[in-house]
Structure 1
Amino acid sequence: MEQETLAAQTLEAIGTDALYDESVKRLLANKSILAVILKECVPEFKHCTTREIAEQYIEGEPQIGEVGIAPDETNRSGELIRGLNTEDAALTEGSIRYDIRFYASAPGEDGLIGLIINLEAQNRFNPGYPLLKRAIYYCSRMISAQYGTEFTKSEYGNIKKVYSIWICTNPPKDRRNTITQYSIREEQIVGEAKEEVRNYDLMSAVMICLGEETDRNYSGLLKFLEVLLSDEKTAAVKKTILQNEFNVPMTQTLETEVYQMCNLSQGAIEKGIQKGIQKGIQKGIQQGIGQGREEERIASVRNLMQNLHMTAEDAMKALNIPQEDRDRIKQALAN
């Protein structure tokens, strides 16, 4: 019983919104879901099936972000990236927390190539700064964090390409149902010098902006993610669409995560409704208090007029009623 009480208190302290966010991260970190995203957003996987990506190329278990690790407690300069916690930290750089980060290999001309991939779920497209700049910073940080883990000294040839993929669930209208990639490209200014693509194509930021069913381009990955993250579709509907249209194997774990996210989403909606009701009640109380005070002032003015034979203006002056309220009170006295 004590454990149940403690659990209930913990859930209450965390809050429905935070639990929903964590549920979304766990759902997106499922390899079957990641495979669908990688298939469309990472060119290195364009010739692979989603099953191959999920079963052969995503290495280990994707790491989901953790909260509350101070920078001076997590100096990881000596750790290997495989199995690394999702937070990069250094005393001079502060701390960065990734939603999801994982290691993957992809087929290349000379064999498998290593990739480091970060996936973020973002509700606000305009959080007060250009979201794309944050995505590019995440890419830069994932590259710089490889020093001492993937390469040392001047072994820059061992740097692995990184991707930061952002799923924006509430973008502005002109961004809805779009997928845009930002990468380093070669451009000849003088002459026709050519460099191997793998030596400069080291980072890509991908912005996935979801939309509505009625918007253009509602298909493929955009439809897949809208269905998956929708707070309107039921778990049963999601399960049917994922299985039948996108061939996502609905394992027991994935099915549980889908149902849990839907339940938390419904809880968040009900919580919002309840907050609205409480806010309405509170507003009504305040309005009632204000109305009561107004009636008291009108009654006081009337008493002075009747008992002391004062004019309405003199009575209001005696009661220190503000000038801007006097016409309204005079009108109420006349009714």
Structure 2
Amino acid sequence: MPQEQSFHLPLRASQIDQYDQTCKHLFSQKVILAYILRDYVPGFENCSIQQMMNDYLHDPMEADPFTNALTGMTNDRGHLRYDLLFSVKIPGGQKMYLNVEPQGLIKKNEAIMKRVLYYSSEMISSQYGTVFTGSHYEYLRRCCGIWIVFKAPKKHQNRVYQLKVQGDAMLETQFGKEISELCESVVICLGEPDEAPKGSSLRLLDILFSRTMCAKEKEMRVFKEYGITLEREEGSDMPTFGEAMMEVMEYEAKQKYLAIGKDEGKKEGREEEKVNGILKMAEVLRSLNLSQTEIIEKIQKSYSMSYDEIRMIIS
């Protein structure tokens, strides 16, 4: 049995910004970050989870001018915003910047890898004026982006993609491997937990973000396999996480009620079947914790009916 760790998991929230805060809370937990760093970030592979939590991940995470989310400063860079930005120690005493980006869907034809590369490059250029000035590029710090994709196409599920500077053998010989590790990114595409390696951070994330497991099952599996205790308020349910997860939920709901509309003869306009279709759509949308106004507005996009007509049906 792994050494037991614990962290507090907040209550389910109904608003997108509260979902987002819950997601950020989860990824701010040292034990979760430790598993990710151990598996995917060079330099940590020989460290134990406990060692990383004690020696390299501070509580609270160490603040400095660049890790703006921790100092009260904005971490917006024009139209770009980092979801979670940390400063962590590397074995050897140096510091690196770690950006965690929850991602809902990989949409068709989306240039996800180019976006990942852009964010990582921005972490490098953003250090000017905070970490170094003038021509003192020797003070540049290592950066790593961790992207968690909740709903990837089947061919990408339970796959991990790594992007980094790739030089020839002469580069590391002459300048050291710190150059090839200066800017790197990891894209983790979640899938079914039982298809991921046991004890891996991929499997841990698969369990935590599973859409098919109930809260109790998640708690039991995380404790049994990782020695981590999920602490929740009595009577609460395991929440879904972040704006990205809300995007997944809305996508799934849309697919369900489009299928419902087709099955119920919406196009034929039969009143009884139309009412049944609306009621089933409302039931699906309520599972997203949407307000009645939001539910009605979404139903209106599929049915040519007034706000009051739909309200009378679903009330």
State the TM bucket, normalised to the shorter chain.
Answer: 0.5 to 0.7
| Distance in structure 2 (CA, Å) of the matches to 1:117 and 1:188 | 26
Q: Look up the match of 2:283.
A: none
**Structure 1: which 5+ residue stretches go unaligned?**
1-13, 64-77, 292-335
**Cα distance change on mapping 1:22 and 1:154 into 2, 3 Å:** same
| Distance in structure 2 (CA, Å) of the matches to 1:89 and 1:257 | 37
Confirm or deny: 8 A CA contact 1:38 1:45 kept in the other structure.
Answer: yes
Q: Look up the match of 1:332.
A: none
Instruction: Give the SS at the match of 1:166.
Output: strand
Confirm or deny: 8 A CA contact 2:150 2:190 kept in the other structure.
Answer: yes
Please show how residues 1-335 of structure 1 align to structure 2 within 5 Å: 16-61=15-60, 79-81=65-67, 83-84=70-71, 87-89=74-76, 94-108=78-92, 112-126=93-107, 128-187=109-168, 194-213=174-193, 215=195, 217=197, 220-248=200-228, 250=229, 252=231, 255-256=232-233, 261-262=238-239, 272=253, 276=257, 280=261, 287-288=269-270
**Cα distance change on mapping 1:214 and 1:104 into 2, 3 Å:** closer
| Distance in structure 2 (CA, Å) of the matches to 1:126 and 1:186 | 31
| Distance in structure 1 (CA, Å) of the matches to 2:234 and 2:83 | 16
| Distance in structure 2 (CA, Å) of the matches to 1:263 and 1:200 | 36
**Shift in Å at residue 172 of structure 1?**
1.7
**Cα distance change on mapping 1:217 and 1:172 into 2, 3 Å:** farther
| Distance in structure 2 (CA, Å) of the matches to 1:186 and 1:150 | 25
Q: For 1:187-233, what per-residue CA distance to the aligned partner results, in whole angstroms no more than 9, with x for missing partners? A: 158x9963211134211110111122464657622211110111221
| Distance in structure 1 (CA, Å) of the matches to 2:173 and 2:267 | 75
Confirm or deny: 8 A CA contact 2:219 2:230 kept in the other structure.
Answer: no
Q: Output the TM-score relative to the length of structure 2.
A: 0.66
**Cα distance change on mapping 1:257 and 1:285 into 2, 3 Å:** farther
**Shift in Å at residue 85 of structure 1?**
5.1
**Cα distance change on mapping 1:229 and 1:282 into 2, 3 Å:** same
| Distance in structure 1 (CA, Å) of the matches to 2:74 and 2:181 | 24
Instruction: Give the SS at the match of 1:153.
Output: coil
* RMSD over aligned Cα atoms: 4.0
**RCO higher in structure (CA 8 A, sep ≥6):** 2
| Distance in structure 1 (CA, Å) of the matches to 2:183 and 2:175 | 16
| Distance in structure 1 (CA, Å) of the matches to 2:196 and 2:240 | 29
**Cα distance change on mapping 1:192 and 1:88 into 2, 3 Å:** closer
**Structure 2: which 5+ residue stretches go unaligned?**
1-12, 274-315
**Shift in Å at residue 17 of structure 1?**
5.0
**Cα distance change on mapping 1:121 and 1:192 into 2, 3 Å:** closer
**Shift in Å at residue 32 of structure 1?**
1.6
| Distance in structure 1 (CA, Å) of the matches to 2:225 and 2:73 | 32
Give aligned pairs, total: 250
**Shift in Å at residue 183 of structure 1?**
1.0
Higher helix share: 1
Q: Output the TM-score relative to the length of structure 1.
A: 0.62
**Cα distance change on mapping 1:115 and 1:33 into 2, 3 Å:** same
Q: Look up the match of 2:7.
A: none
Confirm or deny: 8 A CA contact 2:116 2:185 kept in the other structure.
Answer: yes
| Distance in structure 1 (CA, Å) of the matches to 2:195 and 2:207 | 14
